[in-house]
Amino acid sequence: MTQSALRADEQDGLHVAIIMDGNGRWARERGRRRESGHREGAKAVRRVVEASPDLGIDVLTLYAFSSDNWQRPQREVQLLMKLFRRYLKSEIAELKAEGVRLQVIGRRDRLAPDLVRLIEESEEATQICRRLSLRLAVDYSSRDLLVSAVRAAAARTDLDRASLSLLLGQAMHTEEPAPDVDLLIRTGGEKRLSDFLLWECAYAELVFTDRMWPDFQGDALAQAISEYSSRNRRFGRVAEAS
């Protein structure tokens, strides 16, 4: 069975996805420019990646840049791209040493060629790492992926629901398939999905926190997982022993 055929109730470790929101407000609250919030946000990424394996997380998907984020001011977009470059350059040796496999999901054709090269090199360098799979979503849009997936599947009217589901699930991933999301966390107080992992979150538990992303630490991640553990996941079935 391929990984993409695994439902969230059939896998071992957790797949946690995070919408890292609130960098701009965090900065404004301190009288700083939005960019300073993104810089602090990059530090929070490091902390969360470090804390993840010991919290039972196998796969961590972080929403770093949505396809709609291209509409932000040019200066902010450039800063974010610079932070991604810096992260890849400065962290890759450490990620490898810690057994973290890095993958970038999303479109690559609109990224600068040197960034694409860095992404490819980082993926290659960490390919054999198995302690944690870190997926950064950059120029990512679930709807765009769904549209391409439907195009790919349109001709396959011969397939039953399960096979078509598998095909769509595979087409939804720009790289390798990943298991369904168990827990989706959004920081920054907003309560929406913003075109993130819409297919993979079919049965995800949702945790929204008012904490701004730059203030997010390992303890907040542990708290979100503890809330997740107290939920009764039924996947459309009735609770056991009822």
Active site residue ranges: 21, 69
Q: Is 213 in the site for ligand FPP (CB under 6 A)?
A: yes
Q: Is 25 in the site for ligand FPP (CB under 6 A)?
A: yes
Q: Is 196 in the site for ligand FPP (CB under 6 A)?
A: no
DSSP E strand boundaries for the chain:
14-19, 57-66, 100-105, 132-140, 183-186, 205-208
Contacts of 64 (CB under 8 A, 6+ apart): 20, 80, 84, 136, 137, 138
User: In this structure, what is the dihedral angle of CA atoms 224, 20, 177, 227, given to the nearest 10 degrees?
Assistant: 10
* Minimum distance, C-beta of residue 28 to ligand FPP, in the bound complex (Å): 7
Q: Which of 14, 17, 36, 41 binds ligand FPP (CB under 6 A)?
A: 41
State how far the Cα of 62 lies from the Cα of 60, in Å rounded to an integer: 6
Q: Is 20 in the site for ligand FPP (CB under 6 A)?
A: yes
Q: Is 42 in the site for ligand FPP (CB under 6 A)?
A: yes
Q: Which of 36, 52, 87, 207 binds ligand FPP (CB under 6 A)?
A: 87
Q: Is 24 in the site for ligand FPP (CB under 6 A)?
A: yes
Q: End-to-end CA distance of the chain, in Å?
A: 31
With contacts defined by CB under 6 A, how many residues of the chain interact with ligand FPP? 19
The residues that bridge with 137 in the sheet, in sequence order, are: 63, 105
User: Residue 156 — φ and ψ, nearest 5°?
Assistant: -95, 60
Query: Strand 132-140 and strand 100-105: pairing?
Result: parallel
Q: Is 69 in the site for ligand FPP (CB under 6 A)?
A: yes
- 4 vs 122 by CB, closer to ligand FPP: 122
Q: Is 137 in the site for ligand FPP (CB under 6 A)?
A: no
Q: Which of 4, 8, 18, 21 binds ligand FPP (CB under 6 A)?
A: 21
User: In this structure, what is the dihedral angle of CA atoms 121, 173, 203, 224, given to the nearest 10 degrees?
Assistant: 20
Binding mask 91-130 for ligand FPP (x = CB under 6 A): ----------------------------------------
